[in-house]
Amino acid sequence: MVTPQPGRTGRRPQVSIALPVRNGADTLGPVVESVLAQTCTDLELVISDNASTDGTEDLCRRFAAVDPRVVYRRHPANVGLLNNFVSAAETATGTYLRWIGDDDWLEPEFVARVLAAFGEDPRRVLVTTELVYRDEAGVETLDAGYDPSAMASPDPVHRLGAVLRMLTNDVPVVDPVYGTIRRDLATIPRKNMMREDQVFAARLALGGPWGHVAAPLAGRRRTDDPPAKIARLLGVPEWRRHVRVLLQCRELDHRVAQSPLDAAQRRRARAELVRFYARGKRNAVRRRVADVERLTGRSLRVASEAAR
């Protein structure tokens, strides 16, 4: 149950939690409760409803009616997945912004611990935390093996290389898109494309040093959506998913060219992009080989059982 809160004074909150949602009525309640239960109350929760057709609107309006920290905005028509994320961020007014999914959660100390990390170093543009991942069966996993030293480097190319290596993994040890970001960087223009979240993470790496809180202060539902489904959710042409790595690297190169790096740094950055592309292609080949081996092994087992 949400306890009514006193109205805001008009002062900008320190943190905005941006919650893009479409048809999330079945999962949204606990997410909102986890945000409003923060020990640090200097926050706002911005809900951007992408033309939901279930009970999402009624639920959100009830939360907004009892807690003035809840800001509810509804799109009358479906604007697409990325545009709803961007809309939530553009509506926010906090110094820092953190996106949250419609079936994710925050621990009560999340905002306080993250703000303390920003206070330790004014150069930081993003603070990550450990994330607990929950799969479809409800099984939770935590990878606490992240070393934040590389992303704390003052060298933007060193940070870029580190985040590109991290993004080569199937599941990165931290998710920068679900870190807490300085709002001026969180609202930079974004291009609707496959793997845009990875391009965005690379741009955040170029933007400044990161901090990290080594504690499981947030959770996310882990999904393994195939590329075809992601393309549909984003509303991008089908052909683009087949060349998504090439398009991603081209966009990354474009962002490097636009960044305030000197000539030597750009050469180093482009070398990191070449290595990133090569790692991605190598991993793709390994996955195909593993798929073939699984199918071959399954076929052999079926043949063996049939021969008995």
**What is 40-87 written as a DSSP string?**
---EEEEEEEES--SSHHHHHHHHHHH-TTEEEEEESS---HHHHHHH
| Integer CA distances (angstroms), 86 to 29, 38, 67, 90, in order | 22, 24, 24, 6
- Distance separating alpha carbons of residues 27 and 136, to the nearest angstrom: 13
Share of the chain above pLDDT 70, in %: 92
| Integer CA distances (angstroms), 269 to 123, 184, 262, in order | 21, 23, 10
Of 232 and 267, more confident: 267
Residue range 219-233, pLDDT digits in tens? 998 877 888 888 888
Q: Is 24 left (phi over 0), alpha (psi -120 to 50) or beta?
A: alpha
> What is the pLDDT, as a whole number, of residue 10?
66
- Distance separating alpha carbons of residues 121 and 302, to the nearest angstrom: 60
286 domain-assigned: no
Is residue 134 classed as helix, strand or coil in its secondary structure? Answer: strand
- Distance separating alpha carbons of residues 254 and 116, to the nearest angstrom: 34
- Distance separating alpha carbons of residues 253 and 289, to the nearest angstrom: 29
158 domain-assigned: yes
Give the domain-ending residue among 82, 103, 124: 103
Pair (162, 247) in one structural domain: yes
> What is the pLDDT, as a whole number, of residue 280?
82
Contact (CB, 8 A) for 235 and 182: no
Pair (136, 252) in one structural domain: yes
Query: 220 has which bridge partners?
Result: 133
Domain CATH code at residue 48? 3.90.550.10
Q: How many CB atoms lie within 10 A of CB 260?
A: 7
57 domain-assigned: yes
- Asked whether the predicted pLDDT for residue 216 surpasses 90, the reply is yes
285 domain-assigned: no
- Asked whether the predicted pLDDT for residue 210 surpasses 50, the reply is yes
Give the domain-ending residue among 103, 131, 159: 103
Pair (41, 177) in one structural domain: no
Pair (89, 18) in one structural domain: yes
- Asked whether the predicted pLDDT for residue 16 surpasses 50, the reply is yes
The mean pLDDT of 239-244, rounded to a whole number, is: 88
Give the domain-ending residue among 59, 77, 103: 103
Residues spanned by the domain of 87 = 1-103
305 domain-assigned: no
β 15-21/96-99 pair status: parallel
> What is the pLDDT, as a whole number, of residue 231?
87
Mention every residue, 6+ apart, whose C-beta is less than 8 A from residue 188. 203
- Asked whether the predicted pLDDT for residue 281 surpasses 90, the reply is no
The mean pLDDT of 70-95, rounded to a whole number, is: 96
Comparing CA positions, the residue from 89, 8, 14 lying closest to residue 48 is 89
Pair (89, 163) in one structural domain: no
Torsion sign across C-alpha atoms 156, 240, 283, 175: positive
Pair (75, 148) in one structural domain: no
- Asked whether the predicted pLDDT for residue 9 surpasses 60, the reply is no
> What is the pLDDT, as a whole number, of residue 230?
87
Sorting pLDDT into bands at 50, 70 and 90, what band is 5? very low
Mean pLDDT of the chain: 90
Pair (156, 238) in one structural domain: yes
239 domain-assigned: yes
Mention every residue, 6+ apart, whose C-beta is less than 8 A from residue 229. none
- Distance separating alpha carbons of residues 88 and 85, to the nearest angstrom: 5
Whole-model pTM above 0.85? yes
- Distance separating alpha carbons of residues 25 and 224, to the nearest angstrom: 22
Q: Which two tokens stand for residue 41?
A: 């109350």
Contact (CB, 8 A) for 52 and 23: yes
Pair (116, 246) in one structural domain: yes
The mean pLDDT of 271-294, rounded to a whole number, is: 84
Of the segments 1-5, 237-241, 297-301, which one has the largest average pLDDT value?
237-241
- Total domain count for the chain? 2
Pair (53, 128) in one structural domain: no
> What is the pLDDT, as a whole number, of residue 197?
93
Pair (32, 155) in one structural domain: no
Pair (36, 151) in one structural domain: no
120 domain-assigned: yes
DSSP codes joined into one string, 169-215: SSS-SS-GGGSEEEHHHHTS----STTHHHHHHHHHHHH--EEEEEE
Q: Which two tokens stand for residue 83?
A: 């545009």
Q: In angstroms, what is the C-alpha Rg of the chain?
A: 21
Pair (177, 270) in one structural domain: yes
Comparing CA positions, the residue from 26, 13, 192, 177 lying closest to residue 95 is 13
Query: 127 has which bridge partners?
Result: 180, 211
27 domain-assigned: yes
β 180-182/96-99 pair status: antiparallel
